[in-house]
Amino acid sequence: MKFGYSEVCLDHDTGARHPETPDRLRAIRERLKREHGVEYVDAAPADPAAVKAVHDPDYVAEFREFCDDGGGNWDPDTVAVERTWDAALKSAGLARWAAETALDGADGRGTPFALGRPPGHHAETDDAMGFCFVNNVAVAAGAALDGDADRVAVLDWDVHHGNGTQEIFYDRDDVFFASLHEDGIYPGTGAVDETGTGDGAGYTLNAPLPAGSGDADYAAVVEDAVAPALDVFDPDLLLVSAGFDAHRHDPISRMRVSTEGYGVLTDRVRDIAADTDAALGFVLEGGYGLDVLADGIAMVHDVFDGRQPMEPDDDVDDGVESLIDDIRRTHGLGEK
């Protein structure tokens, strides 16, 4: 794979006790030293105009001024320093690079994965939250739509609902947003009946999975709900908001996805992209157990490097089966 990476993203210093630290990127880099065929690419920071295309200009100005004044706590969880502005533009620029590289024809081992921070999927049009200031994947999707893509799909498999990405595109029919997330945790959004509004009605798909969901559950939702919906949408580009905090050993979730399970998800997503003839790129979101975060990203790389992940051998939870049926009814996908 090609990994987008920049040292600038390390300058966003959240403090020693914050879960979203520069050590996340350092751990990933250290783990990828053991892999073959890893290529790192830097990218230009996002232009502020590209950020303002998906965020309110007054919010962007407020965020920049907040950093220029030395930063601090935007809210109890979301911390900035003076250099956070530069890191956020760089992180968004790396996401944009992933979209553009995918659309330029990357395949197989050249599939792009943007390793930026701060993450972005909680950042809404006019507010920062959940460790996020600029919605990286939204900037990337917006740039793609301004370029060669007519339709972009975003699949968010972070353990937390991508409320910001949903909100930004909620009334649009050129972006399909799908989120697999743990039900009942931060930020408290992402119900099945949140499907979009106006022109965007039907273009948001939420799968709030019960706590304890594992590999078979996640794979079933992708196969039986997300894949058929994206087959109908027929995207030109599929971007994965790739958080790794649904891992069974992540410190801040109750989910049971294994490292091998992330390989299965990667394989399923690659199949969706192939079936819909969509370009494919990945953008880093959460993941706070350093070892399992790094192993998860190495697993994504390994799948594109030829590894066939082991299929889950456990049964799909009855509650997840009911969830899939609910999603399919809500989105007019018919019975399974």
Please tell me the chain's helix, strand, coil percentages from 3-state DSSP, rounded to the nearest 5: 40, 15, 45
- Asked, for residue 15, whether it belongs to a domain, the answer is yes
DSSP structural state of residue 128: -
pLDDT on residue 223: 98
Element (H, E) at 281: strand 279-284
pLDDT on residue 110: 87
- Asked, for residue 164, whether it belongs to a domain, the answer is yes
- Asked, for residue 42, whether it belongs to a domain, the answer is yes
- Asked, for residue 52, whether it belongs to a domain, the answer is yes
DSSP structural state of residue 15: -
pLDDT along the chain (336 residues), means of 10: 97 96 98 96 97 98 98 98 98 98 81 98 98 98 96 98 98 98 98 98 98 98 98 98 98 96 98 98 98 98 96 97 98 92
Q: With beta carbons less than 8 A apart as the criterion, state whether 243 and 154 touch.
A: no
18 among known catalytic residues: no
The catalytically annotated residue of 122, 160, 161, 181 is 122
- Asked, for residue 131, whether it belongs to a domain, the answer is yes
Burial of residue 192, with CB atoms counted within 10 A of its CB: 0-12 exposed, 13-18 middle, 19 or more buried: middle
Residue 47, helix vs strand vs coil:
coil
Residues paired with 207 in a beta bridge: 180
- Asked, for residue 336, whether it belongs to a domain, the answer is no
* CATH number for 229: 3.40.800.20
Q: With beta carbons less than 8 A apart as the criterion, state whether 296 and 258 touch.
A: no
For the segment 218-250, what is each residue's pLDDT rounded down to a tens digit? 999 999 999 999 999 999 999 999 999 999 999
Rounded CA separation 32/302 (Å): 10
For the segment 287-314, what is each residue's pLDDT rounded down to a tens digit? 999 999 999 999 999 999 999 999 999 9
Domain that holds residue 63: 2-330
Counting the structural domains of the chain, the total is 1
- Asked, for residue 182, whether it belongs to a domain, the answer is yes
